[in-house]
Amino acid sequence: MVYVASEQRYDTMIYRRCGNSGLKLPAISLGLWHNFGGADVYENGRSMIRRAFDLGITHFDLANNYGPPPGSAEETFGSILQQDFTAYRDEMIISSKAGFHMWPGPYGDWGSKKYLISSLDQSLKRMRLDYVDIFYHHRPDPATPLEETMGALDQVVRQGKALYAGISNYGAEQTQQAIRILRQLGTPCLIHQPRYSMLDRWVEHGLLDVLETEGVGSIAYSPLAKGMLSDRYLRGIPKDSRAGGPSVFLKPEDLTESVMDKINRLNSLAERRGQKLSQMALAWVLRGERVTSALIGASKVSQIEDAVAALSALDFTDEELAEIESILA
């Protein structure tokens, strides 16, 4: 059937301005790191993207190496765009990244101008796009001068291959340097994509302050701490879960007795708030609006629906915030 987007898609989603820019992002964005590769079920990915858009999720986040195999998530997304979203391209924010290993030899990794520009050209071909809305450097490169890496981001924006430039996984000091270089080049840094959750709060030690001071937006990935802040592990480790399989991102030993005690206590608080644990975890990341958007992953449509439903209860009482701090201490 021909896809027609819901006429109510903008009725309930919250949109937040990204730093000092003119761009607004949905409070919930959808990442295609997992479950959209060549090894996954195409129609499941298609259903998730359709439903996300119908719920007001306009931002879809990719990278050159997403799959498996690497590159296949962008190919899948490109096919879905062609089938369903040609008429809606101007309503979508599509991002990609480069910075991790992508092809053999000395030019397929890290942060050289050669790698970044070549990678974006490949990503555009895979997605069948003329441009992406945001292009990120995926991780800092200790061997390449920051001026070269930021110069590559500036160049692709000036070429019209990307509308905005961003960085990901940079520390506070590196972020400040990158922002300064991009500003001098005339291409402001739009956004930073760091890892952030109740169980991983490193961004609170300087990075969020830098972004707020410099007027740069932020989008938090892994807000559910690799799925630990969901109901998946409240009663043990399911065989079909990340921790129950061969995943290198979450292992059974990560779910220690101490971590599980915190998760169960947080779940009790979420139940008192009338939320699932995953919904409270998303609301907590988005509290106070220091974070522009929470970037979720999903394996089925219902998870996207649950995430968007979290936006109906973003406020916390002082007592709830104090209880969370006590649990996490």
Given a cut of 90, is residue 235 above it in pLDDT? no
Given a cut of 70, is residue 245 above it in pLDDT? no
Instruction: Round to whole Å and give the CA distance between 178 and 152.
Output: 12
Indicate the pLDDT class of residue 237, thresholds 50, 70 and 90. low
Mean pLDDT of 117-123: 98
Mean pLDDT of 188-215: 98
**Level-2 CATH architecture, domain 15-228+279-316:** Alpha-Beta Barrel (3.20)
pLDDT at 255: 80
Given a cut of 90, is residue 100 above it in pLDDT? yes
Cβ neighbours for 165, distance < 8 A, ≥ 6 positions apart: 134, 135, 136, 150, 153, 154, 156, 157, 182, 187, 188, 189, 190
Given a cut of 80, is residue 7 above it in pLDDT? yes
pLDDT at 153: 99
79, 188, 167: which is closest to 125 by C-alpha?
Answer: 79
Mean pLDDT of 28-57: 98
Tokens of 29: 């964005």
Report percent pLDDT > 90 for the chain: 91
Given a cut of 60, is residue 243 above it in pLDDT? no
Given a cut of 70, is residue 244 above it in pLDDT? no
Given a cut of 70, is residue 246 above it in pLDDT? no
Report percent pLDDT > 70 for the chain: 95
CA dist 110 → 166, 174, 180, 237 (Å): 15, 15, 21, 35
Given a cut of 70, is residue 127 above it in pLDDT? yes
Indicate the pLDDT class of residue 304, thresholds 50, 70 and 90. very high
Indicate the pLDDT class of residue 256, thresholds 50, 70 and 90. confident
Distance of CA 75 to the CA centre of its chain: 18
CA dist 303 → 30, 52, 79, 145, 230 (Å): 11, 10, 23, 41, 10
Mean pLDDT of 260-273: 96
Lowest mean pLDDT of 24-38, 145-159, 219-233, 302-316, name the range: 219-233
pLDDT at 181: 98
Given a cut of 80, is residue 30 above it in pLDDT? yes
pLDDT at 254: 77
pLDDT at 250: 67
pLDDT at 232: 81
